[in-house]
Amino acid sequence: MGTCYQPIDRSPEQIDQDVAIMKRAGFNVVRMGDLSWDSFEPSQGKFTFEWFDRIMDKMQANGIRVILDIPGLPAPIWLHRAYPGVDIVAQNRTRLPPAERYMDDISDPDYVREVGIMAEALMRRYANHPAVIAVGYDNEIGNGFMSYSEADRQRFIAWLKKKYGSIRELNKAWATQRWSRRLNSFEDVDLPLADGPGPSERYLDIHRFWSDVTVARLEELDAIRQRNMPNVPSISNFWDTASRRGFDYLSTYKAYVSYGAEGLYPGDPISGSFGALITKGALPTPIWFNEFTAGGGGFYGTPGRSRMYAYLGLMMGAQGILAWTFNSHQGGEEQALFGLVDHNGTPSWKVDEFARIATEFKQLVKYGFPRFTHPEIAIAYSFDSFIDSHPNGPSNTTLQYFKPPYAEQVQGAFEPFFRANLDTAIINIGHENLSPYKLIIVPADYVMDVASGTALREYVSNGGTVLMTALSAKVDEHGQWFDTPLPGRLSDVFGLKINAFYASTGLKFDLDGKSISTDIRRYEVLEPSTATVLARFTNIPDHSPAITINRFGKGNALYLATESNPSTIGPVLERVLHLAGIQAGPSTPEGVYARSVDGRTLYVNTTEEKKTVALNVSKRGILTNRIYEGAIVLDPLASDLVQ
């Protein structure tokens, strides 16, 4: 338990006060160094670490360990002035000054060189400091900007040459024969416009290019860590799903991540948990929340809310929770993102709440926490599908049918399993070993590349159970629609083909003797070959199949002919769990989530209402020390670990 701390905002006297508050609260870790490049290197090649040495030593003396962030973002102003190539260039070719965080062209070779020099100096300085518990890279990398300079165009061309080899293959991949857009040489390539217009094939590749740039920077920083601190793990606060750029985290993360980490600012328990599990992927290590909700933009905080989310995180397998932020910022960005200490330096009630969490979590170590999860269910998530399912520009018609958005549909598949108190992993199926999972859900996975198609085929053939939903496997790795039966590369696995897509109002179907009503408006017409129909739509004229199942090899492949949504996935849940041989999780009322840990059950009430969980026997609550007779009664936002 701890906090994010920006000592650059504090005087020496304030730092002493702050560390004393942290110690009294029982904090044992802080995250420092992020967003502070020019405090370590105020001018090129001139390093000033002495001020930070004193703070590091102070943390160590007070029993507080440090996640040391390499602050490669944002780049300092001196770097922009010395090397204008670091400036972002807009789509209309105008230079943009670094007016806010992350307005840096991280593909620029001068940037690459200078960030490496700074990182090497920082790692060498603190390689043997006993306070360092982990290293982080480039706060929120992924939330940067695409740049459109001539140098960026040349780097993109070099990337295309490496990927496609010849202009002939590039023309084929980009379908340039369409509407007179053939390229005679690589020099004919323009940078595809992120804001449109432009065909989807090029839009997909420009995002892949910037993803590869991002991953390259992370791998370079990880190499520096390994040279200087080989036994210290990386725990970095990434933002791979950022709308401005993002990057393909789930295809690459094992090359630069030891522990999945992120900033948790949840809008609700389901979306917050969904985002956290994307960060974890298939890592066997626990989750770290390198930033954790204490307040918000203009939101001071609600008593009990952070504690509730801390227990929800603990339930999912979290090990580290660091409040964002310790001291509320008086200037610059995020002035109204309230921390633990108010703007006048006074500790708020939030210090006491996080101190309570720290005390309770310390006690829970002997009860099997942090909790190591072993999910039997995996949900497919693909950066390529995220990008290509919403191409830019008015000439792209994919957007008209692909609703709701891809990430919302993946979360729609996740939600029923989360509500059923079942652990799930969120993975890129083309880049993971699928054998540990009994059930894989493939929601709206628009791009079906060779690796993903092969992995699913082998998984089902070897005895696995897959549930795929509408909008999946429509295009190949180039973003072009398959000219073979849909779902592409998997039509025989699912024993059907799909040719038509329609809209209706409030689709209904019958399954296992139950009538299912949904708010779904779009469906696909399935034409089974070897598949068996499990359910048909009841309120459309042709009563076409709603759900099919096909035996392929030793396994089962189910197809749901609607978008991925809790109202359609939920009713299928019992059927697919039975097929896969997976037992349901603990039974809880709406808004209460639970997991069993070493013979005990952790319950988390995420609502602001009192909730009751029925019991057959008398049990004791470890956190509350209550004796429950007939029912567990959870106060609003409360948690308990029940014997």
Model confidence pLDDT, tens digit, residues 364-383: 999 999 999 999 999 999 99
What pLDDT digit, counting tens, does each position of 27-63 carry? 999 999 999 999 999 999 999 999 999 999 999 999 9
Under the banding of pLDDT at 50, 70 and 90, the label for residue 396 is low
Show the tokens assigned to 185: 């040489």
How far is the C-alpha of 367 from the C-alpha of 396, rounded, in Å?
A: 54
Can you give the pLDDT at residue 521? 81
Under the banding of pLDDT at 50, 70 and 90, the label for residue 92 is very high
Can you give the pLDDT at residue 166? 98
305-322 per-residue burial string, b: 16 or more CB within 10 A, e: under 16: bbbbbbbbbbbbbbbbbb
Can you give the pLDDT at residue 436? 97
Can you give the pLDDT at residue 247? 98
pTM: 0.96
Can you give the pLDDT at residue 503? 86
Spell out the CATH class of 377-580. Answer: alpha beta
Q: Determine contact, residues 118/44, Cβ cutoff 8 Å.
A: no
Over 80: is that where the pLDDT of 24 sits? yes
Can you give the pLDDT at residue 392? 79
How far is the C-alpha of 242 from the C-alpha of 245, rounded, in Å?
A: 6
Residues of the chain with pLDDT > 70, as a percent, come to 99
Look at the domain 592-642 and name its fold: Immunoglobulin-like (2.60.40)
Q: Determine contact, residues 294/350, Cβ cutoff 8 Å.
A: yes
Under the banding of pLDDT at 50, 70 and 90, the label for residue 196 is confident
**45 CB-side CA count, 13 A:** 1
Under the banding of pLDDT at 50, 70 and 90, the label for residue 235 is very high
- Tell me the one-letter amino acid at 514: K
Can you give the pLDDT at residue 520? 86
Can you give the pLDDT at residue 390? 86
Over 90: is that where the pLDDT of 200 sits? no
Collapsing DSSP to helix, strand or coil, 90 comes out as coil
Over 90: is that where the pLDDT of 117 sits? yes
Can you give the pLDDT at residue 640? 98
Rg (CA), the chain: 26
Over 70: is that where the pLDDT of 172 sits? yes
What pLDDT digit, counting tens, does each position of 435-471 carry? 999 999 999 999 999 999 999 999 999 999 999 999 9
What pLDDT digit, counting tens, does each position of 270-304 carry? 999 999 999 999 999 999 999 999 988 889 999 99
Over 70: is that where the pLDDT of 397 sits? no
Over 80: is that where the pLDDT of 407 sits? yes
Helices 200-228 and 150-164: crossing angle in degrees, nearest 10, is 90
Under the banding of pLDDT at 50, 70 and 90, the label for residue 22 is very high
What pLDDT digit, counting tens, does each position of 526-574 carry? 999 999 999 999 999 899 999 999 999 999 999 999 999 999 999 999 9
Can you give the pLDDT at residue 565? 93
Mean pLDDT of the residues in the chain: 95
Q: For the residues 329-357, what does the mean pLDDT come to?
A: 93
Can you give the pLDDT at residue 211? 98
How far is the C-alpha of 244 from the C-alpha of 491, rounded, in Å?
A: 35
How far is the C-alpha of 579 from the C-alpha of 8, rounded, in Å?
A: 57
Domain positions in the chain are 377-580, 592-642
Q: For the residues 312-334, what does the mean pLDDT come to?
A: 94
How many helices (H) and strands (E) the chain has is answered by 17, 27
Can you give the pLDDT at residue 401? 64
